[in-house]
Structure 1
């Protein structure tokens, strides 16, 4: 998993509440177990019409936001089913940070496991960042995970909270497998001892 330390990028504004995981990546795209290739179908039913053509008004189809790395969204983002394909699609599109007043718990945890930083802020602070994001490519938001700050293009700094363990995992680029591999020496030692003490296993 890629490390997340600092991110400076364009933020896409999506002032919608209760964006569920089926909106993020519709069910017909859940057949794959690959983490790549889903970005093109992120928000598929909002991005494309029935003929597969882009809907110009949708935020990620607008020139200013095609390369957005941050998403500023409404309350209860990522609700609905627990599909891990949702953060896979977000990450594959190129978004590394989602800022919203609140997140569904499972989606929130899945973000950390896939290298995405979900930041929950009070509504009034999200509103400030939403206005900032609406400036398009003229404004870049900086997210500093180590300092736990979000900085607007005007230099306004907003602090955020993050679980220390999840912060450590993102800073070091550790998913569940990476965390296990950190203990590989201890695992090897246990296996060697267990093999001697219980040769029948």
Structure 2
């Protein structure tokens, strides 16, 4: 998994509430088990019309936000079904951080396992960052995981909380498999001892 230390990039404002996982990646695109290639279908029904033409008014189709790395969203982001394809699509598009007042639990935890930092903030701070994001491509935010701070384009610093273990995993680029492989020496030692003690297994 790609490490997350800090990013400085464009933040896309998405003030809608209850953006669910079917909006993030419609069920039509859940046939794959690969984590790559889903970015083009992120928010598919919001980005494209029935003829697969881009809808100009959708935020990620606007020139200022095509390369966004951060989303500032409304309440309850990632609700709905527990599809892991949702964070896969977000990451594949290039988004590394989502900021909201609240997230659905399963989506929230899936983000950490896929190299995305979900940040929960009080509404007044999300509103501040939403207003900053609405300034366009010249308003670049910095998200510093080590310092646990967001710096808006005007220099305003917004601190955030993050679980210490989840922070460690993001900083080190450790998903569930990575965490297991970090114990590889202990696992090998246990298996060697078990083989000696129970050769019939």
TM-score by length of 1: 1.00
1:79-114 CA distances to partner (integer Å, 9 max, x unpaired)?
000000000000000000000000000000000000
Q: d(CA) in 1 for partners of 2:27 and 2:137?
A: 32
Alpha-carbon distance in structure 2 between the residues aligned to 1:163 and 1:94: 23
Q: Distance in 2 between matches of 1:29 and 1:134?
A: 30
The equivalent residue for 1:138 is: 138
Match of 2:84 in 1: 84
Matched ranges for 1:143-154 at <5 A: 143-154=143-154
What is the aligned partner in structure 1 of residue 113 from structure 2? 113
Distance 1:81 1:148 in 2: 29
User: Matched residues in 2 for 1:151 and 1:42: separation?
Assistant: 26
Structure 1 gaps, min length 5: none
Partner of 1:122: 122
Matched, 1:191 2:156: no
Root-mean-square deviation (CA), in Å? Answer: 0.3
Partner of 1:3, secondary structure, is coil
| Long gaps (5+) in structure 2 | none
Aligned counterparts of 2:136 and 2:70: Cα–Cα separation in 1: 12
Counterpart position of 1:98: 98
SS at match of 1:76: coil
Instruction: Map Cα deviations across residues 97-147 of structure 1 (whole Å, 9 max, x no partner).
Output: 000000000000000000000000000000000000000111100000000
Cα distance in 1 for residues equivalent to 2:146 and 2:93: 24
Q: Aligned residue for 1:50?
A: 50
Question: C-alpha distance in 2, partners of 1:152/1:80?
Answer: 30
CA distance in 1, matches of 2:78, 2:137: 25
Q: State the alpha-carbon separation in 2 of the partners of residues 50 and 154 from structure 1.
A: 40
- Aligned residue pair count: 201
* Residues 53-64 of structure 1 mapped to structure 2, 5 A cutoff: 53-64=53-64
